Structure 1
Amino acid sequence: MSTHRPPTLAPSSQPSWRRRRLDPDHSLGLRLTLAATAAFLVLVPFALLALLVLGAWAPLHRLDTAVTHTLHDYAVDHPAWVVLMRIWSDVFAPMPLRAVALLLVIWLLRRGARRLALWATTTMVVGGLIGPLLKLLVGRDRPELLDPVARAAGFSFPSGHALNATLAAGVLLLVLLPYVGRGVARVALWVAALLLTVVTGLSRVALGVHFTSDVLGGWLLGVAVVAATTAAFTSWRAHAGLRPVQPARDGVSPEVERHPEDA
C-alpha cells in the first residue's frame, strides 16, 4: 500500500525581503537601507519637536523666550550687529538660494548631467513645498517684542531661512564634492556649507523674528529632505549598476566630473 506524502515546496533561491535589504551586493541593499533609515531617524526628532511646539510645552517655551530676549537685548545695544545680521539674512534668504540652485541645475543640464539636475531640483522643490505647508499646519506665531529690530510676515515654525539654507548647502556640497579633491579645498567646502546653514539660521533668532526651536526645526527638516532624496538617488545608482558611494565623502555622483552623462 503506497502512501502519498504531501508535496513539499522546493527551497526558494530568492532571499527574503529583510535579507535583501541588508545585502551589500543587492541593488537595493545595505547602503540604500541605511540612507533611508537615516532620513527617517532625522524626521523623528523633527516630529517630536513639532509636537512640543504644538503642545506649547512650558520648558521649551521658557527656553525659546529666554534666548530671544537675551539676543534682542544685545541687538538693541549693538546696531552694527543688527545691520550685519540683516545683510546676511537678506543675502541668504530662500529666494536668492533658490536662484543659486537654479543656476547649478542649468549648469548640470548643460553638462548633460540630467539625473543629477533632477535630484537637485527635487530636493529644493520638495523642501520648499513642505516648509510652508508645515507653517500653516503648526500655526505658531512669531516672537512678540516691544522694540523689534526686524519684522517678518507669516507663521514661525519651521524657519524657512534655516530650511532653505540647509537644502541649498546640502545640494551644493553633494554636487561639488567630486571637484575639490581631498585637501584643503574639501575642508573649505564643508566649512562653507556649515557656515551657510548655521549662521543663516542664527541670524533669524538674532533679529528676533524666529524662536530657537523654529530654526532647529528648519535644520532638522532640511537634513531629512536631503537624506531622503539622496537615498532615492542612491537607489537609482544601484539599479544603473554604478559603483556605491558615500555621499558625505564622494558626493552623490562622482562620475559627473569625468562622465556627466552617467549622472
Structure 2
Amino acid sequence: MHPAPTDSPTRPSGHRPALAAVLLGVPALLLLLLVELEWGPLIALDEDIARTTHRWAVADPGATRVSRVLTDWVWDPWTMRALCAVAVLWLVGRGARWLALWLAGACLVASAVQQALKAAVDRPRPVWPDPVDSAHFAAFPSGHAMTAAVVCGLLLWLLRLYGAGPALWRAALALAALSVAGVGLTRVWLGVHWPTDVIGGWLLGALVVTLTITTYTRGPAQRDTNDDGPTPPVHP
C-alpha cells in the first residue's frame, strides 16, 4: 500500500533552473544593450513590424476591440498580480509559508525591476497619427509581457511542485502559453509597444522565474520541509 500524500511540494533539482537563468540572462542583457544603444538594424526592424501591425489594427476594428479587452482586463498586470495573490494565500493556508513568501517576493521584485528598467532606458513608445490605444510611461520592457511571464511561469512551477496530473498540467501549460504570447501580441497590435519591448519583457520575466526557482531550491526548501510537515513519500 502507498502512504497517503501530503501537502508538501516535491523538491526539484536546482541545476536546470540555474542553467536556464544563464541562458536567459545573456540574451536579455544583449537586447537591453542594443535597445539602449539604439542599434540601427534592430530599430529599423521594430519600426517595420510596428507599422505593419498598426496598419492591420486600424483596418480591423473588431480584432482591435477584442485585443483591448484582452490586454486591459484578461491579461492586465493587475489581473495577473491578483492571480499571484490568490496563489500566495492558498500556500499560506496550506502552511507553505516560505514558498508563499518566495512567490510574493518574486512578483514584487519583478515589478520593481520592470519599473527601474523603464526609467533607466526611457524608451519612447510608438507614436501614431491615428492611434487605436494609448499607454503611459516608457516602453522597454513591456510590463504586460513581463508580468504575464512571471506569474504564469510561477504558477506552472507550483503545479509541478505539487504534482499536478497530466491533464491539469497540459491544460495549464496551454493556457499559460496562450496568455504570455497573447498579451505580447496585443501590445504590438495596439501600437503601444515595439516588438523588442515585448521580447525583452518575456526574457526578463522568464529570468525572474528561473532565479526564483534556483534560489528557492537552494535555500528555504529545507526550511519549508521542517515547517510544513514531512516531504512527500517515495513510493516503492
TM-score range, shorter chain: 0.7 to 0.9
Structure ranking higher on relative contact order (CA contacts 8 Å, 6+ apart): 2
SS in 2 for 1:208: coil
Q: Do the aligned partners of 1:71 and 1:205 also contact (CA within 8 Å) in 2?
A: yes
**Do residues 101 (structure 1) and 87 (structure 2) align?**
no
Shift of 1:123: 1.3
Q: Do the aligned partners of 1:68 and 1:205 also contact (CA within 8 Å) in 2?
A: yes
Give the Cα–Cα distance (whole angstroms) in 2 for the partners of residues 262 and 128 of structure 1. 34
Give the Cα–Cα distance (whole angstroms) in 1 for the partners of residues 210 and 79 of structure 2. 23
Shift of 1:215: 0.2
Shift of 1:237: 6.1
User: Once the two structures are superposed, what CA deviation does each residue of 1:73-97 show, in whole Å capped at 9, x if it has no partner?
Assistant: 1111111111110011012111121
**Do residues 47 (structure 1) and 67 (structure 2) align?**
no
Give the Cα–Cα distance (whole angstroms) in 1 for the partners of residues 221 and 140 of structure 2. 36
Give the Cα–Cα distance (whole angstroms) in 2 for the partners of residues 112 and 32 of structure 1. 22
SS in 2 for 1:119: helix
The aligned residue for residue 226 of structure 1 is: 209
**Partner amino acid, structure 1, of 2:164:** V
- CA 1:179 to 1:87, structure 2 compared with 1: closer, same or farther past 3 Å? farther
Unmatched tracts of structure 2, length 5 or more: 1-12, 232-236
**Do residues 141 (structure 1) and 110 (structure 2) align?**
no
- CA 1:262 to 1:75, structure 2 compared with 1: closer, same or farther past 3 Å? farther
Q: TM-score, normalised by structure 1?
A: 0.77
The aligned residue for residue 109 of structure 2 is: 126
RMSD, aligned CA? 2.1
User: Once the two structures are superposed, what CA deviation does each residue of 1:42-76 show, in whole Å capped at 9, x if it has no partner?
Assistant: 11101100111011111111111111111111111
Unmatched tracts of structure 1, length 5 or more: 1-30, 243-258
Q: Do the aligned partners of 2:99 and 2:224 also contact (CA within 8 Å) in 1?
A: no
Aligned residues: 217
Runs of 4+ in 1 over 6 A off after TM superposition: none
Q: Do the aligned partners of 1:114 and 1:261 also contact (CA within 8 Å) in 2?
A: no
Q: Which residue, 53, 62, 66 being the options, matches 1:71? A: 53
Q: Which residue, 174, 182, 199 being the options, matches 1:199? A: 182
**Partner amino acid, structure 2, of 1:181:** G
The aligned residue for residue 180 of structure 1 is: 164
Q: TM-score, normalised by structure 2?
A: 0.86
SS in 1 for 2:141: coil
Give the Cα–Cα distance (whole angstroms) in 1 for the partners of residues 222 and 80 of structure 2. 32
